[in-house]
Amino acid sequence: MFALVDCNNFYASCERVFDPRLEDRPIVVLSNNDGCVIARSNEAKALGIAMGEPAFKKEEVYAKHNVAIFSSNFALYGDMSQRVMRTLAQHSAAMEIYSIDEAFLECSGLSADELDRFGIHLRKTVKQWTGIPVSIGVAPTKTLAKVANHIAKRLPDNSGVCVLTKEETIEYCLKKLPVEKLWGVGRRYALFLRSWGINTAWDLRRMPEGWVKENMTVVGLRLQKELKGEPCIPLEDQPQKKKEICTSRSFGTMVTELDELKQAVSMYATRCAEKLRTQNSCTNLVNVFLHTNPFRPDLPQYKNVRLVRLPVASNSTLNIVQAALGGLRSIYRAGYQYKKAGVIVSGLVPSNTIQYNLFHPTDEDRHMRLMSAMDTVNDREGRDVLRIAEQGFARRWTLRQERLSPCYTTRWADFMTISV
């Protein structure tokens, strides 16, 4: 049996934990540069505020209904996610962290009544220990657990727990679930399935397996078997290493000067290097890209990308920043107002299987010691306390975050104080 634990309106809930005045008040969280809506409380959803909608289109609605608006505070959300996951890990022998606000738990060996009590207890514990409300769906497969979680969020008694073990209950729920709501069924697949008269999850479950495999490949067949209660997708308790890492941001203001672009690209390359070291990988290829604002046709347009191949795979910030800056200098053109830049590292290999280059000697041991020292200091004292000089300090190009809440759990200056 699998349990899917999903945090309700996670980003909005994080903001609400530290400010009780936000209870029952509509909340929206905006994307980078305060552009589009990326999270909504239930109250905001009831007002018709859509996911991904540009914030400026609903300014009148925000003002009329006293909507609380926040810039995305990923430092806070990431730390709150870790707290939730640590809580869940104490209640299951095996757990798969599926996303920042979702996790699958192994909960075999329990009866239907025990599963229900387990879900209720777990939901109460997470709320008490972290302040985050969650919904829990339990079923024989991960796909059915997704279905159960979808139902749990909409239960009229607000219990937040749905257990699917009886065949007649599973059939009833699948007949009510639109096919586009299924895990792994995107918009195009949904249109295709509906053209064949497959409108619900139950319809897909009843299709011949041969037809499903022919039209939806083995992935679709696995989905169908999961709907039938046959576990085909195992629990992955060890996170998969990324095959490619990208760090990019839109600038808070237009950037024209090469020096400012070098600061930004250096920071993005630094983040990529840190992520590589976290998963014990090295990169062979460094991609750098930049472009102007495509939504400003009144301005001259330009975009370009450059691939730089490293002679020896590395996860050293020094090597990756050097390669990224070399690529940037080759594609930069004066006279344009740039809106976005980024760095992508690919061709990843384990850090213990590097193929060295006879004609390009390198002191990797020295780099590893230096990077280890930098990571230790930055982990203890705060991000970028030690940094590459090219990253600079006066970052006029950084994200616009005019409605950023305090980093209540990750910054000493933002810790809450209580007077008694």
Residue 128: what pLDDT? 95
Q: Could you give the residue ranges of the DSSP H alpha helices within 279-354?
A: 317-331
Statement to judge: residues 93 and 205 lie in one domain? no
Give me the pLDDT at residue 180, please.
93
The three-state (H, E, C) secondary structure of 12-81, written as one string: HHHHHHCCHHHCCCCEEEECHHHCEEEEECHHHHHCCCCCCCEHHHHHHHHHHCCCEEEECCHHHHHHHH
Residue 207 lies in a domain: yes
Residues 26 and 152 in one domain: yes
Question: Model pTM?
Answer: 0.81
104 shares its domain with 150: yes
Per residue in 16-73, pLDDT (tens digit) is 999 989 999 999 999 888 889 999 999 999 999 999 988 888 889 999 999 999 999 9
Residues 159 and 171 in one domain: no
Mark residue 184 as left, alpha or beta (left: phi above 0; alpha: psi -120 to 50; beta: remaining): left
Determine the structural domain holding residue 379 and report its residue range. Answer: 245-391
> Is there a single domain that holds both residue 171 and residue 156?
no
Same domain, 157 and 14: yes
> From the DSSP assignment, how many helices (H) and strands (E) are in the chain?
13, 13
Residues 384, 343 share a domain: yes
The CATH number of residue 218's host domain is: 1.10.150.20
Task: List the Cα angle 292/296/297 in 5-degree steps.
Answer: 100
Among the candidates 137, 163, 189, a domain finishes at 163
How far apart, in whole angstroms, are the C-alpha atoms of residue 2 and residue 165? 11
On whether both 209 and 264 belong to a single domain, the answer is no
Q: Is 326 found in the same domain as 202? A: no
The CATH number for 100's domain is 3.30.70.270
Q: State the average pLDDT over residues 242-252.
A: 90
User: What was the pLDDT predicted at 40?
Assistant: 93
Q: Does residue 413 belong to any structural domain of this protein?
A: no
Q: Is 128 among the domain residues?
A: yes
Q: Is residue 167 among the annotated active site residues? A: no
pLDDT at 415: 84
Check which CATH number belongs to the domain holding 380 and give it.
Answer: 3.30.1490.100
pLDDT digits 0-9 by tens, 168-205 = 999 999 999 999 999 989 888 899 999 999 999 999 99
Residues 14 and 157 both lie in one domain: yes
Each residue's pLDDT tens digit, 4-15: 999 999 999 999
Residues 123 and 222 in one domain: no
Q: What is the pLDDT of residues 249-274, one digit of tens each?
A: 888 889 999 999 999 999 999 999 99
Q: 101-153 pLDDT, tens per residue?
A: 999 999 888 888 899 999 999 999 999 999 999 999 999 999 999 999 999 98
Distance of CA 205 to the CA centre of its chain: 30
Is residue 190 a part of any domain in this protein? Answer: yes
| pLDDT tens by residue, 66-92 | 999 999 998 899 999 999 999 999 998
- Residue tagged active-site, from 102, 226, 260, 364: 102
The reply to whether 412 falls in a domain is no
pLDDT at 406: 87
Asked if pLDDT for residue 328 goes beyond 80, the answer is yes
How many domains are there within the chain? 3
Q: Note whether residue 11 is domain-resident.
A: yes
**334 and 355 share one domain:** yes
